[in-house]
Amino acid sequence: MLGRVRAGSLSPEDAARLLGELPYAEIAHAVGSSVIDHHREIRTGVPEIVYGASKTADQIAAVLGELARVAGCAIATRVDPLKAAAVKTLLPAATVHELARVVALGVQATRPPARDIAIVCAGTSDLAVAEEAALVCEFLGARVVRVHDVGVAGLHRLLARLVDIQTTAVVIAVAGMEAALPSVLGGLVGQPLIAVPTSVGYGVSVDGLVALAGMLSSCAPGITVVNIDNGVGAAIAAVKIARLAAESP
């Protein structure tokens, strides 16, 4: 919020008023209510990102609207095409990113400085999750280097992009099936490496559990892992590191 004041996108008066109504707001739904945690960004550096999967379009639109009213912008993930269309009807100013299933609202806020993040994905099928992660990184103010379709069955494709990856401060590796990509990357690069398993596969690897377990078992030490298809979680973790790397120690 202070950043938005400094950047001129929020008057000090409005900032004071907004701070006054914090720390949280309750929105009534048809049945029950949601409690919006406006202080989360102050406590943890990252605003609430709306998890759309188990909310109705009405609930998503209401929460996005309330968050953007205070913070200037907001973002929802896991919004399937039908819901996204309904949210778009309720909030015509929203932007829908179809492949990534993301809906964004408002003008990008000023964020703390952050170094670049590489998002590397193993196959075409992993693009949706990789793009969810990329949009959240950008929403949180970090620049993203996208490296696509470099699975280990064709190792030269990965080696050809290694220099691009090494210029960043953090790497997010997205892979499904047996998810060997992070193990290979982890032996080649020195940055913090966050692995995202995807639910790409069939038979034993359906639903991403094998990819997840493979990443957790990696023989390349120091890889950390998030839940299956959890592009948001990887992005937030990566941005926190990329911001630390941008601070003077």
Residue 3 CB: number of other CB atoms within 10 A?
13
Looking at beta carbons only, is 90 or 246 nearer to its own copies?
246
- Encoded tokens for 2: 């202070």
If binding is defined by CB under 8 A, does position 205 make contact with its own copies? yes
Q: Can you tell me which of 8, 12, 156, 163 binds its own copies, judged by CB under 8 A?
A: 156
Q: Which residue has the tokens 């609930």?
A: 59
If binding is defined by CB under 8 A, does position 166 make contact with its own copies? no
If binding is defined by CB under 8 A, does position 132 make contact with its own copies? no
Q: Locate all alpha helices (DSSP H) within the chain, ordered by sequence.
A: 2-6, 12-21, 40-44, 57-71, 81-90, 127-139, 155-160, 162-166, 181-186, 209-216, 231-246
Q: From the CB of 7, what's the least distance to its own copies, in Å?
A: 20
Cβ–Cβ < 8 Å for 52, 83: yes
Residue 230 C-alpha from the chain's centroid: 8
Determine the interface stretch with its own copies among 1-9, 10-18, 86-94, 153-161 (rule: CB under 8 A). 153-161
Q: Can you tell me which of 1, 6, 23, 68 binds its own copies, judged by CB under 8 A?
A: 23
Residue 167 CB: number of other CB atoms within 10 A?
11
Closest CA to 200 of 101, 147, 99, 124: 124
Q: Can you tell me which of 9, 116, 145, 233 binds its own copies, judged by CB under 8 A?
A: 233
Looking at beta carbons only, is 10 or 236 nearer to its own copies?
236
If binding is defined by CB under 8 A, does position 37 make contact with its own copies? yes
Looking at beta carbons only, is 11 or 160 nearer to its own copies?
160
CA dihedral 240, 242, 244, 246 (to 10 degrees): -140
Site for its own copies in 100-119 (CB under 8 A): 100, 113, 115
If binding is defined by CB under 8 A, does position 190 make contact with its own copies? yes
Looking at beta carbons only, is 85 or 247 nearer to its own copies?
247
If binding is defined by CB under 8 A, does position 20 make contact with its own copies? no
